[in-house]
Copies of this chain bind each other. A is one copy, B any other.
């Protein structure tokens, strides 16, 4: 069994430990965000997908507009902007990605309040942070991040809940058990493997809260299985990329609850992909009626939290296809655990 596979299975415990340890930081989080007029995330790779999720959560739950920033504004261009009304959130699993460490220091110099989210206490990123929140995922040894990702997603959901009078607290308390349930459920990986076949490219699509996990699953497929997968919102797909479905390569879609305002768009995408001959794997939520999909059922959860469960089957698929194609998912070619950008 791969290390990645073991770490996938540790996710329920990692989420549980993370949420338990955050409990005492609620007041500090409220104080940090008090009076903020904008939130800016600084992150790369998997952590940037946590930022993508955090953007939607804070903008819809916390009454403050959140967006993603480009680390090069800090590290390459040293942009002179006024950040005195901003909270800047740096996310780095290792806490050592130099450009994120530098981005937080840059933000602090420009007047921002700064928050670090990391899996490693006392790591360099915490030095430039007014407040540090830790995930408790334990040491992660496989290069593709899995348990640090879902723990950081849970931490972001907890931040959003903290800033909205605990609006997600009840569902968050159920999350570890639900993750355990998903990890134990049969997944029919052989069937999914056949659907993907020998594809060297595919599309993973979600929207809103789930766009983050669409991008994350696409990244796992790139890292582990060397499939050049695109992770895209289905709104963006309609603005051009939808044309590529005529090649008939697979679609992995992230389902939505039956009450999501985005459901029609998801179903339209599934219909378009099906018409183009693409096999469809849909993870969780509700698929378009009458369209054949490999449906991976998940427990019911509000759309705000569902992505944290949706990533699990995606990780398992990437690991399985890596092994089927003769790659070692734990050590993808050309990648290291701590990534530095030159």
- New contact pairs (5) apart from A226-B246, A239-B341, CB-CB < 8 Å: A45-B239, A72-B235, A144-B240, A235-B341, A242-B334
Known: A223-B240, A235-B44. Contact between A81 and B99, CB under 8 A? no
Q: Tell me if B99 and A235 are in contact (CB < 8 A).
A: yes
Assembled-state Cα–Cα distance A242/B40 (Å): 26
Whether, in the assembled complex, A37 has its beta carbon less than 8 Å from a beta carbon of chain B, the answer is: yes
Assembled-state Cα–Cα distance A219/B262 (Å): 23
CB of A220, distance to nearest CB on chain B (Å): 8
Render A59-86 as a binary contact track against B, CB cut-off 8 A, 1 for contact: 1100111011111110011011111011
Q: Tell me if B262 and A247 are in contact (CB < 8 A).
A: no
CB of A238, distance to nearest CB on chain B (Å): 6
Closest to A107 in B: B65
CB of A68, distance to nearest CB on chain B (Å): 7
Chain copies in complex? 2
Q: Tell me if B77 and A261 are in contact (CB < 8 A).
A: yes
A-B contact pairs, 12 of them (CB 8 A): A40-B65, A44-B235, A65-B81, A67-B68, A71-B235, A72-B235, A223-B243, A238-B340, A238-B341, A240-B339, A242-B335, A243-B333
Closest to A77 in B: B60
Closest to A207 in B: B72
Q: Tell me if A222 and B241 are in contact (CB < 8 A).
A: yes
Whether, in the assembled complex, A1 has its beta carbon less than 8 Å from a beta carbon of chain B, the answer is: no
CB of A29, distance to nearest CB on chain B (Å): 18
Chain A contact residues, CB within 8 Å of chain B = 37-38, 40, 44-46, 48, 55-56, 59-60, 63-65, 67-73, 76-77, 79-83, 85-86, 99, 144, 200-201, 203, 207-208, 211, 219, 222-223, 226-228, 230, 233, 235-236, 238-247, 249, 261-262, 264-265, 268, 272, 276, 332-335, 339-342
> Could you say which of B67, B144, B226 contacts A67, with CB atoms under 8 Å apart?
B67
Q: Tell me if B247 and A72 are in contact (CB < 8 A).
A: no
CB of A317, distance to nearest CB on chain B (Å): 16
Which residues of B are found within 8 Å of A81, using beta-carbon distances?
59, 63-65
